[in-house]
Structure 1
Amino acid sequence: MFTPIIITIAAIYITRNLPRTFEVRTTVYTGIVSGYTIEGETGISDYIGVSNAMDNLINIIQAENTLKRVSYRLYSRNMVHGDLTKDNQFITASSFREIYNRTKYNRDGAKLLALIDSTSEEKTFQNILNYEKPNKDNFIYGLFYWNHPHYCYNSLKNIRVIRKNSSDLLEISYTSNDPGIAYNTLDILMKEFVNEYRDIRYGETDKVIAYFKAELDRIGTELKIAEDSLTDYNIKKRVINYYDETKEIASINKEFELREQNATLEFNSAKALISQLETRMGNNLIQIKNNIEFINKLNKVASLTGAISEIQSFNSGEASKTNNLASLKKQLENTSKELSDISNQYVEDKHTKEGISKSSIVSQWLDQVLLYEKAKSDLQVIQKNRRELNEKYEFFAPVGSTIKRKERNINFTEQNYLSVLRSYNDALMRKKNLEMTSATLKVLNPPAFPIQAQPTKRKIVVFAAFFGSFFLILGFFILLELVDRTLHDKVRTELFTNLKVIGAFPGKSLVKYRNYDKAVQAIATKYLSSAILPYLINKKENLPFIINFLSTESHDGKSFIINELMQYWCDAGLKVKYLNWDKDFNVYSSKYLIAQSVSDLYKIEDEDILLVEYPELKSNSISTNLLNEANLNLLIVRATRGWKEPDSILANKLSNQLTKNNLAIYLNKAERYVVEGYTGMLPPYNTYRRLIYRLLHLELTAKYEINK
């Protein structure tokens, strides 16, 4: 009981100066679940997506790179604003003296102090980043990767990030022994975390946007070059609209084919009629053909007819061409009339042999000649136009294939451009969506500077020391009880030996109870006498009551107990005889070994009780007759020794030798509480002893009458 108290007092003393800690908390709204996106949706709806997004945020906050930047910014802020003599909102004076001296007395202390720009945290931070190198001798690098209580990775990774239930909120907390360090660590972390989150989310999107923008510019340039090439080619080949022009050419060609057929038919018909009429004209034909004026007029008619045919073939409805055509027709009409007048002058006979008027034949011949000339002119114009159309066909055939090839290239490039443009717009929309979701990262509860330290764990330590030591000692003794085979008391003795215990005799008392040893021994002896008397029945003829005192080992106290018991009975007026194996008979003789009765070892007189002490059983045996002859075989065992396997074997052997139940155990050198289990309370009988006795026997509400 005293050991837990001593340990508790030691814990109280050791924890008298436990360091105080300050905790700072902040809450961040993420908007992952309920935030609004550019597509009009409200955040992520599936559980796995939400968990993944939240885990990403938590991992970014606790990432080594994020904490490294927090460490360097915190160091920069403290070195800029720290004060060696008094505490401030950035760092306490003691903490600043520690980091300042660590910096100053480093082997590169002068260079490190030169990094500190007292006018700007940002410049100091940039100087530190430039100075830091991945080298164990680099002070800044080591500050983060060694074990500094404020700036190292092992300290900063104790920042706790917890999602509040299933909400959009993250609770971030940090504990430090310096209130300024705790506050500024979270204050810096909130800014670095948001920047890191945006860099990570925007980084890939910006690269995708830059890629599509570059592709868009490249393909746009290719498209412009292809379109300019087609334009230049059309200009070079004088093509305005290839497809309409080729359709027009095909239509004109078809029209000319029909006109050519008609003209050819008219030409051949006129030619045949002229030939037929000329056979009837006779001398008139020769005279007419020899007339120069007629020939000239005829050529003029042919020329006018050709001009009219050409104008009619390509009449576009222009006013100038219409006027010219009317003029040419007027001239043709006049010239035809003049030809008719000339031809009429050469008619000799009025009628032919068939009786047909010659003037009518000449008139018909002239008409056919005019038709012939017209058909001839039309045919020539049409054939000329057909040749021009053939040339256009030859021109447009390669132009068409080239234009189609260029248009295919333009179309392919344009489709590619539009596809990249769509991807570019999607990437821009994705970035805008990320900007909107990133904008929802808001600090709802900013970190507040702690003005009161957290309760220490001193009470917990003290209680843990007390109850821990108590249960440890209790467990030790319970384990000891489970594995220890020392007899100690009645319960353990009967458990280990399977024999009945009839009493216990006390050992030497502590100093404060030593004056009561005689009285206690007398009480124990008296109880032993009363415990033995029930066995002293059925006295055999010519024999006294016989009590055998046995033991499995030597020095168990048989002689002492026999002497105390013998003295008690003698004082009571009984005749008692004490036989000792070492004095009264020889255990090594044949007489002892084959003895059938105790009378073979000793001459019986008039004694009432015979007390026989035998040697220890482990080295000597006792005949069965001697054991069964006794009224009681009392096995004396020290309560302070263990019950071993040889003891069990000897006790079982002894039990097997006996034919009646007259074997019992008596404990020697037992504790006072064991003896009190048989005799009742032992002296001294003071109030304290009475209270302890009642508690041990659970007499919590018992009442006793006092006899006066």
Structure 2
Amino acid sequence: MNFIISTIRTLFRHRWLILIGTALFTLLVIYYTRHMRGGYDVKATLYTGVASGYNLESDKRTDWATVQNSMDNLISIMQAESTLKRVCLRLFARVLILGNPEKEQNGITPSSYNYTYNHLKNSPNGPEILKLIDKSSEDKTVSNLETYMRPHRENYIYGLFYYNHPFYSYNALKNIKVQRRLTSDLLDISYSSGDPGIVYNTVSILMDEFVEEYRRIRYGETDKVIKYFEEELKRIGKKLNAEEEDLTKYNVQKRIINYLDETKEIAAISKEYELREQDALFAFNSSKSMLDELEKHMDSNAKQVLKNMEFVDRLREASNITGRISEAEAMTDSKKTDTQSLEKDKKRLSEVKQELNDLTSSYIGHKYTKEGASRTSIIDQWLEQTLLYEKAKAELKIVQNARRELNDRYVFFAPVGTTIKQKERMINFTERNYLTVLQSYNEALLRKKNLEMTSATLKVLNEPTYPISSNSTNRKQIVIAACIASFLIIVALLLLIEMLDRTLRDASRTKRVTGFKAVGAIPDTSSSRYGGLAKTYVQLSVQELSNSLLRFLTKRKSPGVFIINLFSTSEDSGEEEVGNLICGYMQSRMLNTRFISYKEDFNTDSTQYLLARKITDFYALQGEDILIVAYPPLSKSNIPTALLLDANANILVTPANRGWKSIDKQLCEQLMQQLGKTDIPFRICLTNARREAVEDFTGQLPPYTLLRRLSYRFSQLSLTEKIIFNLKKKAKEEAEDEDDDE
């Protein structure tokens, strides 16, 4: 509670500083905001068609996450640095091309044109850049500026965007607000600036540049993908054609028409020849066995017939004809000879058989063998079996030759089949790759068409309009905020000083800083601050101080007098002046009082003083009742403990406008150790105190005007105390005070 009261008193004491400081700062803000003008707002609405527009790539269900992502992308593109850079260059070019220094033209004010032109003209490279301005083409001017722009701090166009220009810089343009309207397809664009032409043209250019930037970004990536797929389709198509032509050439080279059917046919023929080989081998073995058996039953005459040359020739001819007939019958239809040749061979074979029969009949002498078998029958059978044997032998040879040819065909078709399958797999892989790329190519074309539809839906629903009137300024709010802020800052600084300051100043602060109570406060007697009332203030303060000290004079000390000790921690504290004032006041009350000082009445360097047990050891009493003793500062000389204990009160005199330092604290702690736990009062008396500090002891000091009464009662927190206005009494008291001063 004491801290709160002390804080309030501090603020009240510095009330003029707070009020004047706040007023000065507020007046400065008012002065510097005198030219403040309201900004111009321009708004536009863009329809995107992202959520409700037709989309070739999506189904009927709406993916809200994709929609939100698309809207965020649109907002990011609109607020992107690259987009705003193009807006900056086009706005700069438009102002210089369409502006007029004397009148508003094409929505561009003379002030914005003159500011832009002069700013450019006065730059180091101004004349060089002015040559880039083509009055006939805005696009060409923008292209020239883009070419001239380089990332260097001395480049004017680069600095125009990246420095703090009020119209064209990135810091100014990034204040363009883009916001989606709830969950709709609409984007609200708003911008505010101090020039109506600049703000209007900025939003107008942004609408155009945004659409172009969106198309440039989306079409750029899609066109690159489409170009990639086109090149891949050409490459894979050429590869596919080459592989197919290579397969065709291989089939022609190997004389392959249909590999699967041909291999099936070869397998069937191989099975057929295998069966025929078995039949031919069986007939060959059977006829050979039969011939061997028949030859066993032949006699010498019959065997001689077999060795006859003519017979042998006819038999060889029959064998050859039989071989040709068997070979002709074994061939496929595509390899058979004509029918006439075959019939001719069969006819000749019959003739040869008849000739052989005739030869055998002419050589046989006996009709029967010794075993009783008919020779004619044996020869006929032998001849028949010989012909069958030759036929079977020829057929077996033909079949075996055919099997060898089939084996060669197997050897031929085996690697051919593997190679064909490998080539077909490569063609199949290339074809699937071609179809995949073709599908991706079609999807890219579909996406491009969808982007064209999406870009077509980007429509400016509400065109930006040229602002006619400016907005109201917030100058009033700025002034009020400055006033409040300055007031709070000054108060905060004062409170901070109040908490950290160790100047004694008044009774409450003295108690808080030193830990000792104050017994009184005396104003600065040499000050002219209070005019003619200074003497009155001193009298009232000394009176209150003396009355407070008289309360401690309850018991005489060992010399038989009342002793009041006055001392200080440093020089020029005013203890001698305080002692004289107290002594004078007590003498005016008819009290036998005497004031002695270490400077005149005793020697602090003498042995009597240093070893004194009581006051009479170094000073001879002269019948005083009250003795006021001023000792040297504690920092210069020590006060004997016996003298401190042989006193009614020990008063530390210190100026109120002096800070309580560490040495002061240390000296007082040593003094308290000397006093020990005795009940001798130890108090502090403030000198050079302000009137407010004196009033804590004396009450309100004159003059008793209404303002002074209100101020005093407010400082004492007597907020609801009743004020009695008695002008006659007030005038009488002031007259008495004037008589006393005289």
The answer to whether TM tops 0.5 is: yes
What letter matches 1:16 in structure 2? Answer: R
Match of 2:5 in 1: none
Q: Distance in 1 between matches of 2:274 and 2:554?
A: 164
CA distance in 2, matches of 1:120, 1:505: 88
Q: 2:719 aligns with which of 697, 700, 704?
A: 700
Following superposition, the deviation at residue 327 of structure 1 comes to 13
Q: Is 2:683 the counterpart of 1:664?
A: yes
State the partner residue of 2:574.
557
Match of 1:13 in 2: 31
Q: Which residue of 2 aligns with 1:217?
A: 234
Determine the structure 1 residue equivalent to 2:501. Answer: 484
Gaps of 5+ in 2: 1-17, 730-742
Q: How does 1:581-600 map to 2 (within 5 A)?
A: 581-599=598-616
Q: CA RMSD in A?
A: 5.5
- Determine the C-alpha separation between the residues in 1 that align with 2:285 and 2:567: 170
Distance 1:264 1:635 in 2: 154
What's the CA shift string for 1:153-189, capped at 9, x where partnerless?
A: 4544555678999999987765543344445445545
**Match for residue 469 of structure 1?**
486
**2-structure distance, mates of 1:33, 1:332:** 95
The yes-or-no answer on 1:527 pairing with 2:541 is no
Residues 278 and 597 (structure 1), Cα distance of their counterparts in 2 relative to 1, 3 Å cut: closer
**SS class of match (1:647):** helix
Q: Residues of 1 paired with 2:128 and 2:566: CA distance?
A: 94
In the TM superposition, 1:48-447 aligns within 5 A as 64-87=81-104, 91-103=108-120, 112-113=129-130, 115-118=132-135, 120-132=137-149, 139-145=156-162, 147-157=164-174, 175-189=192-206, 192=209, 196=213, 207=224, 209-259=226-276, 262=279, 310=328, 314-315=332-333, 387=401, 390=404, 394=408, 397-398=411-412, 401-402=415-416, 404-419=418-433, 421-423=435-437, 425-426=439-440, 429=443, 432=446, 436=450
Choose the corresponding residue for 1:458, options 436, 460, 475. Answer: 475
- Distance (whole Å) between structure 2 residues aligned to residue 431 and residue 190 of structure 1: 27
Match of 2:654 among 633, 637, 644: 637
Aligned to 1:684: 703
Contact 2:553–2:562 (CA under 8 A) maintained in structure 1? yes
Letter in 2 for 1:6: L
Q: Label 1:33 to 1:678 Cα distance change in 2 as closer, same or farther (>3 A).
A: farther
Looking at structure 2, the residues matched to 199 and 624 of structure 1 have their Cα atoms a distance apart, in angstroms, of 98
Q: How far is the alpha carbon of 1:527 from its aligned partner? A: 1.7
Q: Distance in 2 between matches of 1:265 and 1:542?
A: 174
**Aligned in 2, Cα 1:537/1:307: closer, same or farther, shift over 3 Å?**
same
Offset, 1:690: 1.1
* Separation in structure 2 between the aligned mates of residue 257 and residue 427 of structure 1, nearest angstrom: 57
Give the 3-state SS of the residue equivalent to 2:237 in structure 1.
helix
Q: Check 1:205–1:403 CA distance in 2 against 1; reply closer, same or farther (3 A cut).
A: farther
The CA deviation at 1:197 is: 5.6
The 1:233–1:613 alpha-carbon spacing in structure 2 relative to 1, beyond 3 Å, is closer
C-alpha spacing 1:647/1:238, structure 2 compared with 1 (3 Å): closer
Other structure's SS at 2:521 match: strand
2:521 aligned to which of 495, 504, 507: 504
- Could you say if the C-alpha distance between residues 385 and 125 of structure 1 is closer, same or farther in structure 2, counting changes exceeding 3 Å? farther
Residue 21 of structure 2 corresponds to 3
2:291, 2:386 within 8 Å by CA — same for their partners in 1? no
Q: What is the CA–CA distance in structure 1 between the aligned matches of 2:647 and 2:666, rounded to whole Å?
A: 22
CA distance in structure 2 between the partners assigned to 1:524 and 1:570 by the alignment: 16
Kindly state the Cα deviation for residue 480 of structure 1 after the two structures are TM-superposed: 2.3
Distance 2:218 2:576 in 1: 96
Contact 2:323 2:395 in 1 (8 A): no
Secondary structure of the corresponding residue to residue 33 of structure 2 = helix
Contact persistence 1:497–1:648 (CA under 8 A)? yes
Q: Is the 8 A contact 1:28 1:170 kept in 2?
A: yes
Sequence identity percentage: 37
Deviation at 1:8, TM superposition (A): 1.0
Matched-pair contact (CA < 8 Å) for 1:161–1:170: yes
Q: Larger deviation: 127-136 or 268-277?
A: 268-277
CA distance in 1, matches of 2:29, 2:398: 126
- Please tell me the residue identity of whatever aligns with 1:230: L
Per mean C-alpha deviation after superposition, the further-off stretch among 438-447 and 650-659 is 438-447
Whole-Å Cα distance in 2 between the matches of residues 9 and 650 of structure 1? Answer: 50
Give 1:419 deviation, angstroms: 3.1
| Mapped partners of 2:171, 2:462: distance in 1 | 24
Q: Matches of 1:230 and 1:137 in 2, distance apart?
A: 68
> Which sits farther off after the overlay, 620-629 or 103-112?
103-112
- Answer with 476-485 or 8-17: which moved more: 476-485
Superimposed CA distance per residue, residues 43-101 of structure 1 (whole angstroms, 9 cap, x where no aligned partner): 5869xx988x9987776555544443333333344344334334467543322233334
Does the aligned pair in 2 maintain the 1:34–1:42 contact within 8 Å? no
Q: Distance in 2 between matches of 1:550 and 1:268?
A: 162
Helix, strand or coil at the partner of 1:38? coil
Q: Distance in 2 between matches of 1:534 and 1:90?
A: 91
Superposed displacement of residue 400, structure 1: 5.3
* SS at 2:551 equivalent: helix
Q: Cα distance 1:454–1:400, how it changes in 2: closer, same or farther (>3 A)? A: farther
Alignment check: 8 A CA contact 2:26 2:483 kept? yes
Cα distance in 2 for residues equivalent to 1:265 and 1:600: 172
Paired letter, 1:672 = R
Give me the whole-angstrom Cα distance separating, in 1, the residues matched to 2:570 and 2:672: 17
Structure 2 CA distance for partners of 1:409 and 1:205, relative to 1, 3 Å:
farther
Alignment length (residue pairs): 692
Q: Aligned in 2, Cα 1:89/1:695: closer, same or farther, shift over 3 Å? A: farther
Instruction: Give the C-alpha shift of residue 696 in structure 1.
Output: 1.2
Change (3 A) 1:82 1:647: same
Aligned partners of 1:395 and 1:618: how far apart in 2? 134
Q: Deviations over 1:184-238 (max 9, x none)?
A: 4455455555655665566566555544543443333233223223323433554
CA contact (8 A) 1:28 1:169 kept: yes
Answer whether contact 1:494 1:501 (CA < 8 A) is retained.
yes
User: Structure 1 residues 376, 84: closer, same or farther in 2, change over 3 A?
Assistant: farther
Offset of residue 623 of structure 1: 4.0
Contact 2:175–2:191, Cα closer than 8 Å, also in 1: yes
Structure 1 unaligned spans of 5+: none
User: 1-side partners of 2:653 and 2:154: how far apart?
Assistant: 78
Shift of 1:688: 0.9
- Pairwise CA distance, 1:642: 2.0
Q: Deviation per CA, 1:382-421, whole angstroms, max 9, x where unpaired?
A: 8668757755764674465245314412322431341353
Structure 2 CA distance for partners of 1:454 and 1:406, relative to 1, 3 Å = farther
Amino acid at match of 1:680: G
